[in-house]
Amino acid sequence: MPHKFSDARRDKFPKAKYRVTNCSEYNESLRRRGDVTIWVSDDVVQSLASPRRKTRGGQARYSDLAIEICFTLRVVFRLPLRQTQGFVRSLAKLMGMALVVPDFSTLSRCGKGLRITPHWRAASKPITLIVDSTGLKVHGGDGWHAEKHPTRKARKTWRKLHIGLDPETGDIVASKLTTEHMGDETALPDLIAGIDADVSRILADGAYEGQGVVDCLEDRFGSGIEIIIPPPKTAVRGENAQRNHHIAAIAEHGRMNWQAETGYNQRSQVEAQISRWKQVIGERLQARDFDRQIAEAQIASKALNRMTGLGRAKYERVF
């Protein structure tokens, strides 16, 4: 049997083609991502020392900002901890500043429970929130050693990254790293808890379909929020008016027409952001401890937002 049994009777949709209209500006933004001064500026260097402690206890030698800068350079340039220490030490030497750079063991220890301040451009009007999740590999071998030598294979595991995207600015306004056992609906309340912007519309795939998601979104953003989640094929009408309207529109005009009318096709932007994450940051987490992996994911989100702020590509459809 062929891969698609009804392929000869399927409707063929030509793939749309786009071109970039701001090539020079976008190329310059890509070059600036490799500029170290974007990530380590002169005004930031002055805040690397930890503020004086006024309570009982030992005095911290490095501030959270210093640890965050080191981890940001590690995530952006994909460096191990020891190479990160040497890289930051060489930057301090080139800048002519007598800075004591945290060693690799200090970075590893301070990465656990590190407080990361979110960085994304605030909107002047209510935003559209697109949520989705993906899997990230954890540190470990690829199985070659277990195949070469008669050892027991390690059980495969991964982490689940949940993100919320603002399509207007392209920034990640919320991110949460969980274990692979936590579902999308369960992780949603913690994901949207830190969003301090007004959300007028939310887009999500069928994994978020359920009354619990509706109650969570209305409690957080108000009853007037527009929820665009595709109902399953076997969905029946219930008490939710928005869901009943979606079911009726799909039954009358078809699912493709419903996607175009509601703007559900915008959800492809969060899938593109996930692909961008794995291309720029990588599809594997460097940290081994779960708490350190959480900090690494938060720093990666902040770094991607910094890259987006440098410039985005503008497209126009040509076919």
Whether residues 55 and 89 fall in one domain: yes
Which two tokens mark 251? 């039954």
Give a yes or no: residue 99 inside a domain: yes
Whether residues 56 and 94 fall in one domain: yes
Give a yes or no: residue 121 inside a domain: no
More confident residue, 46 or 218: 218
User: Dihedral angle at the C-alpha atoms of 138, 142, 146, 152, nearest 10 degrees?
Assistant: 30
Give a yes or no: residue 8 inside a domain: no
Q: Tens digits of per-residue pLDDT, 93-146?
A: 887 776 778 888 988 888 888 888 888 887 778 999 999 999 999 865 555 566
Q: Tens digits of per-residue pLDDT, 268-308?
A: 999 999 999 999 999 999 998 899 999 999 999 999 999 99
Give a yes or no: residue 270 inside a domain: yes
The pair phi, psi for residue 283, each rounded to 5°, is -95, 5
Give a yes or no: residue 9 inside a domain: no
Percent of the chain with pLDDT over 90: 57
Whether residues 166 and 256 fall in one domain: yes
The contacts found for 272-281 with CB under 8 angstroms, 24 or more apart, are 273/163, 273/165, 273/170, 273/172, 273/304, 274/132, 274/134, 274/161, 274/163, 276/304, 277/134, 277/161, 277/163, 277/304, 278/134, 280/304, 280/307, 281/75
Predicted TM-score of the model (pTM): 0.86
Helix, strand, coil percentages (3-state) for the chain, rounded to 5, are 45, 15, 40
Whether residues 167 and 106 fall in one domain: no
Q: Tens digits of per-residue pLDDT, 27-55?
A: 999 999 988 888 876 656 666 656 666 66
Give a yes or no: residue 242 inside a domain: yes
Whether residues 230 and 157 fall in one domain: yes
Q: What is the CATH number of the domain that holds 209?
A: 3.30.420
Domain that holds residue 209: 127-288
Give a yes or no: residue 192 inside a domain: yes
CA 263 vs. chain centroid, Å, equals 22
Give a yes or no: residue 55 inside a domain: yes
Encoded amino acid at 114, one letter: L
Whether residues 91 and 145 fall in one domain: no
